[in-house]
Structure 1
Amino acid sequence: MPVDQVTDQRPAPGRKVPAKQRIAARRAAEAARARAAQRRRTLARSAVAAAVLVAVVVLAIVVQSQRTSSAPDAAVPANTVDGGMAVEVGRADAPATLDVYEDFQCPACARFEALSAGTMAALVDDGSARVRYHPMAFIDEYSTRALNAAGVVVDAAGPDAFVEFAGLLYDRQPVEGGPGLTDDQLIELAGQVGAAGADVERGIRDLVFEDWTRSLTDQASRDGVNSTPTILLDGQPLAPAQLQPVALAEAVHAAA
């Protein structure tokens, strides 16, 4: 038998196509149409999903833009410098500058202040240095409440009151993770440094500078600070041994 008679299953011209073959052909055509319809539906769903994703991304960008543009409107305490990012004491033209990054709930910061706060005060008083405080709030909820209260104090009574209030907070530093000092206690300490009255009480209870506390902490991170206390002398970090009172004074005088 010739090869083409074995392999070619097409009916000869004029011959009637068998019923089974017609059914098979019809089913194949229907299956092809179903697959084409399914592809169209899949493409349509993908287009819709892509459109939704684009809308979500655009919405996220708009919301973030609105948040970013509203950041400058956050309440910032008076008597601060660098757009509210620091509290400065001492002469602006002092020959040396100390930048102090601390968290009021940081035990190491409390130890540093107990040892060297007097030395920094003396350096400010004799004109050797100016001190720029960059308080942060990253340890717990009380860190934020304490820093907000410090913002209320500097707003109401100025930088010197801020430094004195900070000393009181370190002297009474609570255990990490606990509730911390109450609002009433913070209000009482604020009064001891000359920040009193209805506005001070409201500011502490209502966390009027809460956004500011976040801005300070974010700025410290952008400044490369990843631990507290971090002390910079004319922009250069001091080693732990240099944070002792005598070594700190010697470093400042050498830089002046």
Structure 2
Amino acid sequence: MSQNQNKRVSSRERLQELHRVEKAAAKRRQRIVVAVSSVAVLALIGGVTLAITSAKKDDKPTAASALVIPANATGDGGTVITLGKADAPHTMEVYEDFRCPVCKHFEAANGATTAKLTEDGQIKVDYHLAAFLDKNLTGKGSHYALAAAGAALNEGVDKFKAFHDVLYANQPDEREDGFGDVNHLLDLAGQVPGLKTDAFVKAVQDGTYLPWANKVAEKFNDSGVTGTPTVKVDGKPISLFAGNAVVSPEQFTAQVKQAAGLQ
């Protein structure tokens, strides 16, 4: 087998393993949701709420600040980030977790294509961001990255998208909680021209948007989506993998346009 073939096999095996890890994480999350639901039923019967509060408390970091919704947030309660024209006739929904290794592969392959599909005004992209991997993998990086992304969104949708892309390009190994360090997040923000304003830095350091990140993550938990990445167009699921590889930009574009009836 040639060196190039060895590299292709190695990449394919790595992708298969990442996909397996993410599927396993999704199954664990389903079990957590079922367990919390069971506690909720018992609480309704017995009039006890402490168990539910305790079960949820470990899932999310807390901040002293009250809920602050970033400027430019959209959707129910400001829990969505919209890229493209708000009145576009078709909607692509993208469900991701900043610590999700398979999301990184999807973004590397089709992140630019996702943005490009909004350019003619026919499709807008709604990002629904999760943080369940903090519980599955332990840590707080998903929540902290999401809060920092909220600070970027407050600076502008373009700043959010650029920071979103930087986070995925610099995603730490899934076994590490690199995004749990706000100083590291601020270092990465330095890669986005004009993002590190005094207001942005203060918001990240103070955890201004952590309550918002918790709210966004809870909204994802209520969405019925059980794994990341997930992409839907006008409610129709899009296949992100073809065999053992991420779909090409051409394949992804064709699926999106077909689902939106633009072909």
Pairwise TM-score range, normalised by the shorter structure: 0.5 to 0.7
Give the aligned residue type for 1:170.
Y
Q: 1:127: Cα distance to partner?
A: 2.5
* 1:252 corresponding residue in structure 2: 256
SS at match of 1:226: coil
Q: 1:124: Cα distance to partner?
A: 1.1
* 1:84 corresponding residue in structure 2: 78
Distance (whole Å) between structure 2 residues aligned to residue 100 and residue 231 of structure 1: 5
Give the aligned residue type for 1:230.
T
- 8 Å contact from structure 1 (residues 241, 247) kept in 2: no
* 1:150 corresponding residue in structure 2: 149
100, 103, 106: which one pairs with 1:109?
103
* 1:29 corresponding residue in structure 2: none
* 2:114 corresponding residue in structure 1: 120
* 2:126 corresponding residue in structure 1: 132
Structure 1: runs of 5 or more not aligned: 1-55, 64-72
* 2:205 corresponding residue in structure 1: 205
Distance (whole Å) between structure 1 residues aligned to residue 49 and residue 222 of structure 2: 26
**TM-score, reference length from structure 1:** 0.68
Q: 1:247: Cα distance to partner?
A: 2.0
1:137-174 deviation digits (Å, cap 9, x = unpaired): 1112111111111011101x211111110110011101
Distance (whole Å) between structure 1 residues aligned to residue 48 and residue 178 of structure 2: 42
- 8 Å contact from structure 1 (residues 95, 129) kept in 2: yes
C-alpha change, 1:74 and 1:116, in structure 2 (3 Å) is: same
100, 105, 111: which one pairs with 2:94?
100
- 8 Å contact from structure 1 (residues 77, 209) kept in 2: yes
Give the aligned residue type for 1:79.
N
Distance (whole Å) between structure 2 residues aligned to residue 127 and residue 179 of structure 1: 37
Distance (whole Å) between structure 2 residues aligned to residue 211 and residue 237 of structure 1: 30
- 8 Å contact from structure 2 (residues 166, 191) kept in 1: no
**TM-score, reference length from structure 2:** 0.66
- 8 Å contact from structure 1 (residues 187, 200) kept in 2: no
Provide the aligned C-alpha RMSD in A: 2.6
- 8 Å contact from structure 1 (residues 128, 253) kept in 2: no
Give the aligned residue type for 2:82.
E
Larger Rg: 1
1:25-64 deviation digits (Å, cap 9, x = unpaired): xxxxxxxxxxxxxxxxxxxxxxxxxxxxxxx94897xx9x
* 2:184 corresponding residue in structure 1: 185
C-alpha change, 1:125 and 1:148, in structure 2 (3 Å) is: same
- 8 Å contact from structure 1 (residues 129, 252) kept in 2: no
68, 77, 97: which one pairs with 1:75?
68
- 8 Å contact from structure 2 (residues 146, 213) kept in 1: yes
C-alpha change, 1:58 and 1:101, in structure 2 (3 Å) is: closer
* 2:158 corresponding residue in structure 1: 160
Distance (whole Å) between structure 2 residues aligned to residue 81 and residue 176 of structure 1: 29
Structure 2: runs of 5 or more not aligned: 1-45, 54-65, 135-139
Distance (whole Å) between structure 1 residues aligned to residue 74 and residue 94 of structure 2: 14
SS at match of 1:124: coil
Q: Which has the higher helix share?
A: 1
- 8 Å contact from structure 2 (residues 90, 124) kept in 1: yes
Q: 1:218: Cα distance to partner?
A: 1.4
- 8 Å contact from structure 1 (residues 75, 208) kept in 2: yes
Give the aligned residue type for 1:215.
K
